[in-house]
Amino acid sequence: MPHRRKSRPKVSFFAFQDIITGVTGVMILIALLMALELVQTAAEVAEAVAEPSEVEIFQSNPQELAQQNELLRQELEKLRAEVALLREYSPEKIKQLEAQLKEAERRRSELASMQKSEMAALAESSKSLFEKMEKLKTEQLRLNVELQRMQSREKSLVGTHHRIGRIRAEQLPSWWIMEITGNGWHAWQVDQSGMPTGRRKQFIQPAASKRLQAFQDWLAARPKGKEGFFLFVRPSGIDEFHLLRDFLRTHGYPFGFDPLGSTQQLELVTDF
């Protein structure tokens, strides 16, 4: 029988080749990364070499270095002085300063509150004053209109041979308006606002001396210091006016006078 050759198993190198290929690729990648790192490092070194160092800068500018050194020395001295001041304050002193600071803060808060309330009161007062001013302006306009009306009336009355007597007895409770003539004295009482009270008095005795005596008797029964007299004197009553004036002046009665023509008509104006 013919002898058969025994078959042996075949050996495959495919897996080994894969390993070799993978290792080679990894080494190539590492070599590329190292090359890139070397390039970047060389560029940084070149830039560092090109730029001057701080030491070189200071060496080239010794005056600037001395100035900065002096500034640092001054700052250091200030810090040392502050530290020395802080060392002088004991814990009790610090507590006292804290208490003073709290008291100052409390007072500041009180002052702020007072200022706020005063500002509010001032604003309210300003508002009230503004309202009063508006009222005064309105009243002034009304009085101006009334004054123009009365001036127009006065002109018309003067044109008709009237005499205007403006009565405003502000200082005394009342005044007596007297017309002095050679035949008698006629008096009308007005109150403090100048309005007639309706009271009248006549002194029509036959002689001037008797009229003066009757006037004195009547005046003695009245309260002194609460009434004044204003005399409108007719030409016929000038002599009697002198008697009455001397009596009022001697006894301290307030009085005034004004001449009145013999044909002039007297009108008392009380609506001013």
Instruction: Give the CATH number of the domain where residue 257 resides.
Output: 3.30.420.40
- Cα torsion 44, 45, 49, 53 to 10°: value is 70
The pLDDT tens digits of the residues spanning 19-67 come to 888 888 888 889 888 888 888 887 777 776 656 555 565 555 677 777 8
Q: At 197, give phi and psi (nearest 5°).
A: -90, -10
Q: Which of 18-27, 65-74, 83-92, 93-102 has the lowest mean pLDDT?
A: 83-92
Whether residue 82 is contained in a domain is answered as no
User: Model's pTM, two decimal places?
Assistant: 0.40
Integer Cα distance of 174 and 114 in angstroms:
49
Let me know if residue 90 belongs to a domain.
no
Positive or negative: CA dihedral 65, 67, 73, 75: negative
148 part of a folded domain: no
The structure tokens 């080679």 sit at 24
Does 134 fall in a domain? no
Q: Is residue 104 part of a domain?
A: no
Is the predicted pLDDT of residue 171 greater than 80, yes or no?
no
Identify any residues that bridge with 189 across adjacent strands, giving them in sequence order: 176
Is residue 171 in a domain?
Answer: yes
User: How far apart, in whole angstroms, are the C-alpha atoms of residue 91 and residue 98?
Assistant: 10
The reply to whether 239 falls in a domain is: yes
Pairwise CA distance, residues 148 & 139, whole Å = 14
pLDDT tens digits, residue range 178-200? 999 989 999 988 887 778 888 89
The answer to the question of residue 153 being in a domain is no
What is the total count of domains within the chain?
1
DSSP 2: P
Average pLDDT, rounded, for the chain = 79
SS3 category, 268: strand
125-139 pLDDT tens trace: 888 888 999 999 998
Domain that holds residue 197: 162-269
